[in-house]
Structure 1
Amino acid sequence: MRIIDVIDHTNVMDDEFTYREPQRGSGDWRFGSQVIVGESQVAVFVRGGEALDALQTGRHTLSVANIPILAGLIGLATSGRTPFTADLYFINLKDMPQIGWGTNPPIPLETPGKGMGAVLLSTHGTMNISISDPMRFLKKFGVGKPITRVGDMKNALQTKLLGELTVLLMGSGVQSVPEANGFLSDVEGATLSALSQQFEDEFGIKITSLDANPFQAKQASADELMNYVSLENYERIKRLQIAETAAGNEGVGGALAGAGVGFGVGQNIGGALNPEAAQAQAMQQ
C-alpha cells in the first residue's frame, strides 16, 4: 500500500474540467499528507461515490480542520495516522473558450398568418463557459471518471443550450424571423442571463459569453412544431407566455424586434421557468 504524502496537479490540459488522483484505483491518505491546489483550481475528496470536503487554492496539510466531513465519516481521531482511502479530484475553474454549438435539430417558431404558419430556425456559434459550482459539476459529470474533458460532455451542453434557447424564444412572443434575430442579438443581455442561470442550476456551469449567427429559416407546418419540442419544454413555454401576458407586455413582439428581449421578459423568466421558487417567494411576502 502506497500512502500519498504530497500531491498536486499542474499539467492541466486546455480542455480539461476534472482530473482524479490517482488515475487508477483509490488513493491512500493519512493526516499529515499535503495537497497543493493551484490557481483557478479546487480539490475535492470523494469517498464511496460521494463528494465531501473541498480545498481551495494553496498548500493544505490534511487534518480534521480542513477535511471535517471525511474525517468524521471514517472516524479518525485528530492525531490519527491510520491511512484512509479516498479519491481526490482537481477541478479546473478557468474559462473554456470557443466551444462550438448549433441548432441540430432546428428551433421551431410559430408565425401566425405568415406562410405555412411556422418556420424551423437554424443557427450556430460559440460559447465560453466556466465552472461556477464545483461540487454540483463534479457530482453531475466527474465522479467515477479519471478525467473529464469538454468533448466528454459536449452533447449534454448542446442539448441543454438548445432546449433552453427554444423555451426562451418560443415563450418570448416573437412571431417572425426578424423578431427572432432581434431576440438572438440580445445574447449579452437578458437572454444570456437566463440561459446561464439554467446551466448553473443543473450543471454548476456559467456561460460567460455566447455568440450566434443570424437565424436561417425553413418553412414548416404548425403541426410539425411538436416534433421538435418535448412536452416538458412545451409546458414551460406556455407558463412563460402566460407570465408575459399577465405583465401586460402586449407589444413584446415589436419590442423584441428592436431591442432584443424586453424588460418584462427579463423580470418574468425566473418565475415562469421556476414556478415552485416563485410560489415560495410569494408565500413569504
Structure 2
Amino acid sequence: MGLFDAIRGQFLDVIQWEDQTQDTIVWKFQRRDNAIKNGAQLIVRESQKAVFMHEGILGDVFGPGRHRLTTNNIPILTSLSNWKYAFGAPFQCDTFFVSTRQFTNQKWGTRNPIMMRDPEFGPIRLRAFGSYCFQVTDPGTFVKQISGTNADYDTAGIAAQFRNMLSARFADALGEMQIPALDLAANYNEMGDDLCEKLQPEFDEYGVSLTKFLIENISLPEEVEKALDTRSSMGVLGNMNTYTQFKTANAIGDMAQNEGGGGNMMGMIAGVNMGQVMGGTMQQGAQAPQQPGVAPPPIPQPVQWFAAVNGQQLGPFDGNAMAQNVQSGQVTRETMLWKQGMAAWTAAGQIPELAGLFNAPPPMPPPMPPPMP
C-alpha cells in the first residue's frame, strides 16, 4: 500500500444522511477534523439539500442526487479553502444536511387573552389556537440565521420563535379585521389565508415558507358563553306556546280515535283545558285593537286552579272549567286544590270561593214520559 493509499483510507468516501426521524430539520455530517478528500461521493436524497461551510462562511449547496466532490463542482469551497490540487489531498469544511420537506401539524396558541372591542358585547377577551405548516426553502439562510453550528436541529428548536411570532401577528390582524365575535367562526379560513400571506415576508428572513396557517378555535370567556347559552334558550322558549298548542291538538285527535278514552277523567279535563286555551287565543285575536298606535290595557287574568288527582297534578282550570268538573263529579269536596297565593293544597270543600259550587241545587230531572194508554 502506497503513501497516498494510506491517506485515502483514513477518510470516508461517501457523505450522506439517512433521516429516520420526523422532526429533524438540520443534521451535521460528523467526521474527524471534518476532513473531506477530493473525489468523495455526496448523496443527497429527495427532500434534502446539502450545505457546505468553511470556517463559518457559507459555501456550495447541493440538491438531490449523487455528486462527486471535485474542484470543478465546488468552486466556492475551492476558493475559500485554497484547496491544494494534489491527488487525494483533503480539505476541512462543515457539511450540513437540511430537510426541505413540509413539517406539518405544528401548534400555535395565544399565551394570554387578546383584548378586542366587539360591537355587540363591548370589550371582550378572546383566546385562540390552531396549527401551521412550514418548509425550508433557503437552506443556506436557515443554517446561517437559525441552526448555526448545531449538530442536530429539530422543530422544537424553532417552535417557540414561530409560535410567539404567529400569536403576535394574529392578535394584530384580529383587531384590524374588526369581525364581530359571533361571526369569527365563519371566517376562520379567510383569516388563516390572509395571515399566511401577511406573515410570509417575516418567514423569508429565516429561509422558511409558511405553507399553511389554520385557526382551529377562537373561544370567548366563560361568562360570555353562558350569556349566549341563556339567550339561545330564551329564543327557543319564545316559540314554546305555538309548539305546545300543536302537540295538544294532536293529543286530542289521538284521544278522539281511542274507543276507551271517552270516559277517562284526565282526557276530559285535558279537553276542557285545551278548549279554553284555543278559545282564549282566538278571543285575544278577535279583540285586537282596530286603531293602530293605541295600546289596550292588560287583559285581566282569571284565577287558575290546579287539582291533585290520583297522584298527578292537573290544570290549570278557570272558574267555568272548575264548575263543570264539580257538576260532573270529577272534583269533589275531598279533591285537593291549589291556586297562586295559597300556602298549601286544600280540600275543595274547605275553600270559601268554591263553597257555592258544592251547595248549588242539582239540576232538574228530565220530565217523566206520559203514561201508556
TM-score normalized by the length of structure 1: 0.67
Match of 2:326 in 1: none
Matches within 5 A, 1:132-281: 132-172=137-177, 174=178, 176-187=180-191, 189-195=193-199, 197-218=200-221
Match of 1:259 in 2: none
Separation in 1 of the partners of 2:172 and 2:193?
Answer: 16
**Alignment CA distance shift 1:6-1:159 (3 Å):** same
Deviations 1:64-102 (A, max 9, x none): 232211110111255664321111111111111211211
Fraction of identical pairs, as percent: 24
Residue pair 2:52, 2:60 contacting (<8 A) in 1 also? yes
Residue pair 1:133, 1:200 contacting (<8 A) in 2 also? no
**Alignment CA distance shift 1:124-1:77 (3 Å):** same
- Structure 1 runs of 4+ off > 4 angstroms? 77-80, 179-183
Which residue type is aligned with residue 27 of structure 2? Y
1:28 to 17, 22, 35: 35
Shift of 1:60: 0.9
Shift of 1:182: 4.9
- Cα RMSD (Å) of the superposition? 2.5
Separation in 1 of the partners of 2:87 and 2:20?
Answer: 33
Match of 2:15 in 1: 7
Separation in 1 of the partners of 2:147 and 2:125?
Answer: 35
Separation in 2 of the partners of 1:43 and 1:159?
Answer: 29
Separation in 2 of the partners of 1:110 and 1:69?
Answer: 56
Shift of 1:114: 4.8
66-75 or 98-107, which deviates more: 98-107
Higher relative contact order (CA 8 A, sep 6+): 1
Residue pair 1:53, 1:70 contacting (<8 A) in 2 also? yes
Residue pair 1:45, 1:88 contacting (<8 A) in 2 also? yes
SS of equivalent residue, structure 1 residue 154: helix
Deviations 1:111-130 (A, max 9, x none): 47853xx3332111222221
Shift of 1:106: 3.2
2:110 to 103, 122, 133: 103
Q: How many residues align?
A: 214
SS of equivalent residue, structure 2 residue 165: helix
Match of 1:91 in 2: 98
1:45 to 52, 55, 60: 52
Which residue type is aligned with residue 30 of structure 1? K
SS of equivalent residue, structure 1 residue 213: strand
SS of equivalent residue, structure 2 residue 217: coil
**Alignment CA distance shift 1:26-1:92 (3 Å):** farther
Separation in 2 of the partners of 1:31 and 1:17?
Answer: 28
SS of equivalent residue, structure 2 residue 93: strand
Separation in 1 of the partners of 2:13 and 2:163?
Answer: 40
**Alignment CA distance shift 1:175-1:125 (3 Å):** closer
Separation in 1 of the partners of 2:212 and 2:136?
Answer: 13
Q: In the alignment, does 2:33 pair up with 1:19? A: no
Separation in 2 of the partners of 1:199 and 1:218?
Answer: 31
Alignment gaps of 5+ in structure 1: 220-285
SS of equivalent residue, structure 1 residue 109: strand
Shift of 1:17: 0.4
Separation in 2 of the partners of 1:64 and 1:203?
Answer: 30
Residue pair 2:17, 2:44 contacting (<8 A) in 1 also? yes
Shift of 1:170: 2.7
